[in-house]
Amino acid sequence: MRGTTVTPGATTPPRTPDDGALPMHRLEVPMPNAMPFAIGTFDTIGPMSRADFPHRHTFWEIVHVTGGTGAHVVDLARWELDPPHLCVIAPGQVHHWEDARGLDGTVVLFTDGFLRDHPGDRELLRGLGARPWLALDEARHSAVARLVAELGDEYRRGARGFDSVLRALLHVLVVRASRMQEDPARTPGARSARAGDGGQGRPGAVAAEFVRLIGGSDPALWSVGVCAARIGVTPGYLAEAVKTATGRTPGELVRAARTHEAQRLLARTGLSVRQVAGRVGFADPAYFCRFFRRETGTSPGDFRRGAAAAGEIHHEHRIQSIARPEPGA
């Protein structure tokens, strides 16, 4: 639990965009020893709930989207908004909202520690992370809305034993969401930027963990062999699981991850092309430039100039955590 939950106003080490590090956000709670759980609307949770710049956090996030247009980008996938949706974001996943307008719904935040009564939910949540964006038909939307409303009401009232009730309701939500994922044919409108719909069971969990690992900014993890060893499977099994779950090979996803990170650094930091090359694992800047052009069709310099012209370079993200609003806010 240490390092995953902070009280409002607690100081955190500053993270500046120019160092190339993605912001890492922690779940704020109203007082020491409070349970690491929060639920609210996008407005009551705060501006970080709809952040439009790539970031990670140390907690789980379940989002029930009931309105809005735009897209939600999770790791390497872009998901178009066509509410209602249910979305699961795992700790460490990179995500942001893109061109979101009129975003409405409920956000549920909790750490691994909150799952102590139902530890098996971690595996279900990891499976949901393999295909985190579920479209909901009318019946499923109503069922999810009722559960989420119960969670919110129990959280706000804080009656005796409410923490155990919240854990039980969250368990039901996770199990039912997992069932929905197992029957995608009955979940109309689901669309993903990935080629596949995401695998189920062990292959899906392995693929989700692989995508999580390569979605970071550590070049040491942009290796199929290293990731296989970290996950505890053979490279052959990893290749099969990833192909089954995503429709793409691990090598393709690694190249996409390196390209995505390079684009982020070029567009959102002041690092030189040589420095960006080093950050994404290229000792030779010239080779990096050839790689970047092959993957994107443009040079690093032209990409940066285009991003600047489009107003996509951001140099300040001061909010370092998702905070629960102060009373009366």
* Chain segment 26-56, per-residue pLDDT in tens: 665 554 446 789 899 998 888 888 888 888 8
CATH match for 14-193 among 3.50.50.60, 2.60.120.280, 3.90.1200.10, 2.60.40.10: 2.60.120.280
With 70 as the cut, is the pLDDT of residue 296 above it? yes
- Per-residue pLDDT at 16: 37
- Per-residue pLDDT at 170: 96
- Per-residue pLDDT at 272: 93
pLDDT tens-digit readout, 204-216: 678 878 877 887 6
Is 254 or 75 the better-scoring residue by pLDDT? Answer: 254
Residue ranges matching CATH 2.60.120.280 in the chain: 14-193
Mean pLDDT computed over 196-209: 59
Listed range (79-88, 117-126, 184-193, 248-257) with the worst mean pLDDT: 184-193
Supply the pTM of this predicted model. 0.59
- Per-residue pLDDT at 128: 82
- Per-residue pLDDT at 183: 64
- Per-residue pLDDT at 300: 93
Mean pLDDT computed over 153-170: 91
pLDDT tens-digit readout, 254-268: 888 888 788 878 887
Between 300-309 and 250-268, two packed helices, what is the crossing angle to 10 degrees?
50
With 50 as the cut, is the pLDDT of residue 129 above it? yes
Q: Work out the burial of residue 31: count CB atoms within 10 Å of its CB; fewer than 13 is exposed, 13-18 middle, 19 or more buried.
A: exposed
With 70 as the cut, is the pLDDT of residue 107 above it? yes
Residue ranges matching CATH 1.10.10.60 in the chain: 201-309
With 70 as the cut, is the pLDDT of residue 121 above it? yes
- Per-residue pLDDT at 78: 79
Give the model's confidence band at 130: pLDDT under 50 very low, under 70 low, under 90 confident, else very high.
Answer: low
Q: According to the 3-state scheme, what is the secondary structure of the chain? A: CCCCEECCCCCCCCCCHHHCCCCEEEEECCCCCCCCEEEEEHHHHCHHHHCCCCEEECCEEEEEEEEEEEEEEECCEEEECCCCEEEEECCCCCEEEEEEEEEEEEEEEECHHHHCCCCCHHHHHHHHHHCCEEECCHHHHHHHHHHHHHHHHHHHHCCCCHHHHHHHHHHHHHHHHHHHHHCHHHCCCCCCCCCCCCCCHHHHHHHHHHHHHHCCCCHHHCCHHHHHHHHCCCHHHHHHHHHHHHCCCHHHHHHHHHHHHHHHHHHHCCCCHHHHHHHCCCCCHHHHHHHHHHHHCCCHHHHHHHHHHCCCCCCCCCCCEECCCCCCC
The second-level CATH assignment, the architecture, of 201-309 is: Orthogonal Bundle (1.10)
